[in-house]
């Protein structure tokens, strides 16, 4: 407690940077509802993204921001906003989540998703589902309707049937781009096996989606949804459905990650960023940048995060060629980026 009070004092006495407490008239400043979205790190590079494709990604991220803000502006919760925005991105074939998900080695789409409510630290997640149109909504039902956090594969699908969520034939998730990605990955694997010197290239297509929201009550929520990595095998599960790795929200900080999940799992990335904010008295940006640009880069881990704190500060570092991302604050205009400079 003492530490938090000291930080607030400093901020107020110094630059009036973040003033969270009562102002001089004793009034608590109003919280400005905020939505932050990512559409994956890695798959968008200057070389493979022409201006038309980039324009579509900007527009899709902008629509997701607006979908989340519509919920927040109507007085909805951060959890509702996260779910609404992620559903929109899952239905959009441009992203590796829901329709458009990448293919596993067995030529199937295996979907992972998670959601977390910062105010209560309740969380729900699903992994390896193959018929659920919107895995984020199933993750929320795991949180709200069971005493568990993570359900996988057949069991998760059985639960989906019980809950009456929309199921689709596995063909629904097909997109030519994701299919070609699998063909290329298999070909690379074959070539690497023949020329024993090169490691098989794992994946070039991320596009996972994640959303964070801060509502009028000051509650944070986070969610992430993905098809995982192209050519993943043996029931591989990445960081996206793992609370603390790909998704985290607490009372002060929320994070959603994208990148090669194994690194994010080993470093508990989403939790680590919020733990640094909580225990080290560092800013959100410093915590997020240290983890993505120092800790991960040192290990060769590629990807990025979006991070949001309860004062509305946003940080979106990535160590790949690009990361689709955007921010919308209530009453403002959506701002979207793919590369460092937009």
Residues that bind ligand ASP (CB under 6 A): 40, 96, 206, 208, 226, 228-229, 238-240, 246, 258-261
Residues 6+ apart with CB under 8 A from 97: 86, 89, 90, 111, 113, 135, 207, 208, 209, 225, 226, 227
Q: Which is nearer to ligand ASP, 72 or 212 (CB)?
A: 212
* Cβ count within 10 A of residue 26: 7
The least CB distance from residue 269 to ligand ASP, in Å, is 10
Helices (H) and strands (E) in the chain, counts: 10, 12
Buried b or exposed e, range 56-76, using 16+ CB within 10 angstroms: ebbebbbbbbbbbbebbeeeb
Nearest in space to 264 (alpha carbons), one of 298, 302, 210: 302
- Could you tell me the smallest distance in angstroms from the CB atom of residue 283 to ligand ASP? 25
Of 124 and 259, CB closest to ligand ASP: 259
- In the complex with ligand ASP, the residue whose CB is nearer, 57 or 119, is 57
Q: How far apart are CA 129 and CA 113, in angstroms?
A: 9
Residue 267 or 283 having the CB closest to ligand ASP:
267
Q: How far is the CB of 282 from ligand ASP (least distance, A)?
A: 24
Q: Please give the Cα distance from 39 to 55 (Å, whole number).
A: 13
Least Å from the CB of residue 241 to ligand ASP = 8
Q: Is 208 a known active-site residue?
A: yes
- Shortest Å distance, C-beta 12 to ligand ASP: 38
Q: Which lies closer to ligand ASP via its Cβ, residue 76 or residue 264?
A: 264
Catalytic residue among 34, 130, 208, 336: 208
Residue 316 Cα distances to 170, 239, 287, angstroms? 33, 18, 11
Q: How far is CA 149 from CA 86, 142, 290, in A?
A: 19, 6, 29
Number of neighbours of residue 5 by Cβ within 10 angstroms: 10
Considering beta carbons, is residue 96 or 310 the nearer one to ligand ASP? 96
CA distance 262 to 246: 10
Min. distance of Cβ 227 from ligand ASP in angstroms?
8
Report how far residue 161's alpha carbon sits from residue 155's, in angstroms, rounded to the nearest whole number: 10
Q: Which residues are catalytic?
A: 208
């Amino acid at each position: 407690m003492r530490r938090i009070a000291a930080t607030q004092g400093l901020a107020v006495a110094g630059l009036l940077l973040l003033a969270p407490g009562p102002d001089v008239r004793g009034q608590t400043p109003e919280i400005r509802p905020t939505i932050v979205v990512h559409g994956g790190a890695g798959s968008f590079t200057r070389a493979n993204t022409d201006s038309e494709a980039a324009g579509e990604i900007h527009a899709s991220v902008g629509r997701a921001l607006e979908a989340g803000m519509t919920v927040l502006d109507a007085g909805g919760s951060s959890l509702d906003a996260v779910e609404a925005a992620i559903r929109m991105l899952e239905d959009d074939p441009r992203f590796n989540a829901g329709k458009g998900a990448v293919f596993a080695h067995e030529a199937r789409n295996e979907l992972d998703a998670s959601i977390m409510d910062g105010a209560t630290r309740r969380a729900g997640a699903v992994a390896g589902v193959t018929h659920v149109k919107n895995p984020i909504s199933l993750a929320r039902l795991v949180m709200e309707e069971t005493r568990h956090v993570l359900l996988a594969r057949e069991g998760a699908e059985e639960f989906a049937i019980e809950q009456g969520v929309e199921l689709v034939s596995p063909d629904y998730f097909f997109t030519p781009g994701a299919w070609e990605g699998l063909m290329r990955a298999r070909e690379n694997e074959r070539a690497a096996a023949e020329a024993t010197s090169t490691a098989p290239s794992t994946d070039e297509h991320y596009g996972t989606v994640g959303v964070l929201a801060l509502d009028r009550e000051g509650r944070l929520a986070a969610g992430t949804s993905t098809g995982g990595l192209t050519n993943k095998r043996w029931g591989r599960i990445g960081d996206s459905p793992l609370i603390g790795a790909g998704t985290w929200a607490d009372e002060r900080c929320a994070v959603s990650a994208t990148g090669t999940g194994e690194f994010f799992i080993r470093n508990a990335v989403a939790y680590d960023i919020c733990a640094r904010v909580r225990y080290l008295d560092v800013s959100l940006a410093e915590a997020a940048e240290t983890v993505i640009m120092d800790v991960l880069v040192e290990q060769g881990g590629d990807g990025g995060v979006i991070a949001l704190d309860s004062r509305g500060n946003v940080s979106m570092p990535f160590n790949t060629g690009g990361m689709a991302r955007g921010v919308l604050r209530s009453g403002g205009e959506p701002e979207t980026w793919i590369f460092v400079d937009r």
